[in-house]
Amino acid sequence: MDYVIYILLGIALVIAVLWSKNRYLSFKAQSPDDYEGKGPQFDIREHLSGPIICEGVIYGPTGRVSSRFVGDFEAEWNGNVGTMKEVFRYDSGSTQERQWTLTLGNDGSIKAEAPDVIGAGTGKQQGSAVQLNYRIKLGEDAGGHVLDATDWMYLVENGSIMNRSQFRKFGFKVAELVATMRKKETT
């Protein structure tokens, strides 16, 4: 009978350690408040405006690169409402288009809408970072799955933006995206 108690205590300890790790030591443990007063001020109306080039990779559930992409973005703002058109070209030869409507609140809150986003995404810009959370429906060619997405964008001193996103299904990470975004040189 003692061994059953030890097994149950061991299981409880493992669950507590995993919960603590995810709560305090993981990607999802970040908060926009962590970036207040640190680094350059990220204003999405300024830094996500005009023509933008985006280059990145997508990691699959095993941590290996599953796809590479280059994106051309065009963003414009009318007060606190912006439209960002994205065209992605993947190493497989496929392309994808998305158009975001972003609404910035006076408190730094962000509402993000796109045709493949279920409902509206929410987020916040604060200090040198922007966070967005949303549910995205993949295309039928990718299985049509609905994933929970967490995007973090970090402004660096030269004006480039580092983007890291994680995609989860039933709480399990199934993909991660890492990309850079920068203003496109106009000639």
Residue ranges, the chain, pLDDT below 70: 1, 22-26, 187
Burial of 41 per CB tally in 10 Å (0-12, 13-18, 19+): middle
Distances (CA, A) of 100 to 17, 85, 95, 116, 179: 38, 6, 17, 10, 18
Question: What does pLDDT average to over the chain?
Answer: 90
pLDDT in tens, 15-40: 887 777 766 666 777 777 778 888 88
pTM, two decimals, is: 0.83
Q: Class for domain 37-183, per CATH?
A: mainly beta
pLDDT in tens, 68-92: 999 999 999 999 999 999 999 999 9
Query: Domain coordinates of the chain in residue numbers?
Result: 1-30, 37-183
How many Å separate Cα 68 from the centre of its chain? 16
